[in-house]
Amino acid sequence: MDELSFILNEMGEHRDEYFRAVAPPIVQTSNFAFSNVADLRKSFEDEYSTWLYSRGLNPTVEILRKKLAALDGAEDCLVFNSGAAAIFAAVLANVKSGDHIVSVKNPYTWAMKMFEVILPRFQVSVTYVDGTDTDHFARALQPNTTLIYLESPNSWFYDLQDLRAVAALAKKHGIVTIIDNSYCTPLYQKPITMGIDLALQSATKYISGHSDTVAGVLSGSRAMIERIFNSEYMNIGSGIQPFNAWLLIRGLRTLPARLERITRTTAEVIRFLQNHPRVDQVIFPLDPSFPQYELAQSQMTGACGLVTFYLKAENCATIETFCNSLKHILMAVSWGGYESLILPKCAGMPPESFDPANPAHRSLRLYVGLEDPDYLLTDLSRGFEAINDLS
Ligand SMILES: *Cc1c(COP(=O)(O)O)cnc(C)c1O
């Protein structure tokens, strides 16, 4: 595997071709000109390896593709204008009418909506399984199963699947495997090297790292990626634009440094939360208290900044007061940027259906960003003090 610093600083870059500029140019063009008909004909025959039209290949995007594929330990990758587009293309490329998918339960919202709303119109069915036990996948297989869809860890309670075991099961039955690897990024988990066929991630999160771009990555074998390029990628037409690709290249330069910093701060925040009397439990895949801690250690080398905790609260208002009192930690969806975020589960339900006996209803997802640890702990203390004032 190529060295990380080489991938991020040099791979795919050809500075002699653009004035020895250290930062690559944004090749903001829709089309490319040819000097003779023979070359144009060659390009029509093989758009996957020529500059023809930027819905297909583009030189700025190419630099990014080389780096991202190498990070995944994959032969090739495609970069989309969103993580959702990467999911859509990857799934669509591997089902036809009458096929069956086995998916981990509660996959990312827009994967679920594809499975529930779009695929049934084409007679593709889905069975959801609790993915913490590989046997559940084995038992859900049908003769027409063509795809196993994974997300490990998922992005709220961090349930894991045993990637090596599921990959082996799928290979035995000739089934394609796809994983949503957004939580770990390829820096901290490399599913392709564990036998998974296609690894995707929302690059909106850690790869961009600055909450200013929406993008997605899909990595796999050259054969699979070429097939998807020539069909779903070109047809859906949601490839990344050159400027956004340039922002992701910039994000990649600092990815390891950001993740290291976030990892260190997250450990401090977890310690603080675990010792706080108003917190029931902290959920984090690389904490020894996590039920799948050993599996996490065997397939992940890091876990970054997403952590969930259960607040001790009798009602929804307590949780709302906690969140509303924070001054620096922003209340927002997404994660992976420079700024810390809080997201209460109860925001996704009518207040009347809040049940304090259900810990999930009292859960808050915290994303730890790049701020000073004390800055964040002070802000969290502000939230805790506000709810103590209530009682
Ligand atoms: C954000 C996210 C996505 C979707 O990515 P977009 O870039 O928002 O389209 C997919 N999966 C997970 C786990 C995510 O967090």
Q: Residue 80 has which token pair? A: 């989309």
- Taking only the tens place, the pLDDT of each residue in 27-78 is 999 999 999 999 999 999 999 999 999 999 999 999 999 999 999 999 999 9
Pocket of ligand 1 (CB under 6 A): 82-84, 108, 155, 180, 182, 202, 204, 214, 216
Whether the per-residue pLDDT at 1 is higher than 60: the answer is no
Question: Going by CA atoms, what residue is nearest to atom 2 of ligand 1?
Answer: 202
Which bin fits 3, alpha (ψ -120 to 50), beta or left (φ > 0)? beta
| Longest CA pairwise span in the chain (Å) | 79
3-class DSSP assignment, residue 145: strand
Domains of the chain with CATH codes: 2-253 (3.40.640.10), 255-388 (3.90.1150.10)
Going from the Cα of 84 to the center of ligand 1, the distance in angstroms, rounded, reads 6
* 282 DSSP β-pair partners: 309
- The phi, psi pair for 300, rounded to 5°, reads -125, 140
The pick from 113, 150, 182 for probing ligand 1's pocket by mutation, whose C-beta has the most ligand atoms within 8 angstroms, reads: 182
CA distance 103 to 122: 17
CA distance 176 to 103: 12
Whether the per-residue pLDDT at 390 is higher than 90: the answer is no
Give the global pTM: 0.97
Going from the Cα of 204 to the center of ligand 1, the distance in angstroms, rounded, reads 7
**Which pLDDT band, with edges at 50, 70 and 90, does 389 fall under?**
confident
The amino acid at residue 8 is L
Going from the Cα of 182 to the center of ligand 1, the distance in angstroms, rounded, reads 7
CA distance 158 to 9: 32
Going from the Cα of 248 to the center of ligand 1, the distance in angstroms, rounded, reads 15
The pick from 202, 207, 306, 365 for probing ligand 1's pocket by mutation, whose C-beta has the most ligand atoms within 8 angstroms, reads: 202
CA distance 63 to 65: 6
Rounded to 10 degrees, the C-alpha dihedral 32/34/39/41 comes to 70
Q: From 299, 311, 263, 298, select the one nearest 284 (Cα to Cα).
A: 263
Mean pLDDT of the chain: 97
Q: CA angle at residue 263 from 335 to 366, to 5 degrees?
A: 40
- Taking only the tens place, the pLDDT of each residue in 222-234 is 999 999 999 999 9
Going from the Cα of 333 to the center of ligand 1, the distance in angstroms, rounded, reads 10
Looking from the CA of residue 85, the nearest atom of ligand 1 is 9
The amino acid at residue 251 is G
CA distance 106 to 92: 19
Going from the Cα of 111 to the center of ligand 1, the distance in angstroms, rounded, reads 9
